[in-house]
Copies of this chain bind each other. A is one copy, B any other.
Amino acid sequence: MSSLKLTILGCHSATPRVNAHPTSQYLEINNKHFIIDCGEGTQRQMRKYKVGFSKIDQIFISHLHGDHFFGLIGLISTFGILNREKPLHIFGPKGLKEVTLLQLRVSKSYVKFDIIYHELTSKNSELIYEDEKVTVHTIPLNHRVYTNGFLFSEKQKNRKLNPEMIQQYPEIETCDYHNIKAGKDVQLQNGEIVKNERLTLEAAKPKAYAFCSDTAFKPDIIPIIKGADLLYHEATFLEDRIDLAKKTKHSTAMEAAKIAKEAGVGKLVLGHFSSRYKNEELFKTEAETIFNNVTLAEAGKEISL
């Protein structure tokens, strides 16, 4: 079973259009469920693509341009209407707390659950979230306002039981499995020690997903995202408008592909397309000139690893 699934909820830049939704993603990783960025209309896209509202306990906001956070207040408000009680953690730049609290106050929409704000200010990569299954580090980006990408990493997993080998030792009981998966050897009644490696198989390699939007070409993120299985990198422009990319601190498809190649990632997802391009296949074509495994973001697209 796949332990990492990314669902694109929206992947276009600037203003929402009928068939172009601003940035938002739903990430399932090692049975944890996260929303990344929250452009206007995110909650509608979540409903459209059957994202369970009650599964979300953490929301990560890259930066405070409207196309990445104007949908946050509506989502928070809807959590309230749905009688949410458990806390909601919001990670994002300083300012998010003030702006959401003011909106809740003027609309007298006091919600019953706690909102715990983790306001980010560091310009260095830092660990901002950790539980028993996953870590999240920031990826400092270079945009017109303070911006972070996020690296979501599965923790090292337990080794898997090897059923064939275990059957050879009838005295090993089900209640021992937990210790064996955690790496312990087994001592039999006759005193014999059975080494853990004999009873278990390699753990699945932990997966990692790097989200990088919005940013100018920034090669110094490469050490942070090195070897990630999946990289979403913004590609607002093609090389034909690299002047505009530089001016607005965005990337071209070519630049995104360079990052993917240098970082040795498994797969590259491009998004944040400018509406000036009618044929989005050109983003793929341009990136594929230097990196093989490229796919285009598209609302509703699921990418499972």
Contact = CB atoms under 8 A, between A and B. Distances in A.
Interface of A: 14-18, 40-41, 43-44, 47-48, 64-66, 69-71, 73-74, 77-78, 81-82, 95-96, 98-99, 102-103, 106-109, 144-145
Nearest to A17: B47
Q: In the A-B complex, list the 4 residue pairs whose CB atoms are closest, starting with the nearest.
A: A95-B106, A15-B78, A40-B74, A66-B77
Contacts of A96: 106
Given A41-B44, A74-B40, A98-B102, A65 B109 contact: yes
Nearest to A76: B66
Contact of A18 (B14, B18, B48): B48
Contacts of A103: 66, 70, 99
23 contacts: A14-B78, A15-B74, A15-B77, A15-B78, A15-B82, A16-B44, A18-B47, A18-B48, A40-B40, A40-B71, A64-B108, A65-B109, A66-B77, A66-B103, A66-B107, A66-B109, A70-B77, A70-B103, A95-B106, A99-B102, A99-B103, A107-B145, A108-B145
A96 B103 CA distance: 9
Contact of A16 (B43, B70, B107, B108): B43
A107 B77 contact: no
B18 A81 contact: no
A65 B109 CA distance: 7
A74 to B, nearest CB: 4
Contacts of A145: 107-108
Nearest to A82: B15
B73 A70 contact: yes
Contact of A41 (B16, B65, B102, B108): B16
A83 to B, nearest CB: 12
Contact of A99 (B47, B95, B106, B108): B106
A108 B93 CA distance: 13
A74 B65 CA distance: 11
Given A17-B44, A65-B107, A66-B77, 4 more contacts: A66-B74, A66-B103, A95-B106, A108-B145
Contacts of A71: 40
Nearest to A104: B66
A15 B71 CA distance: 12
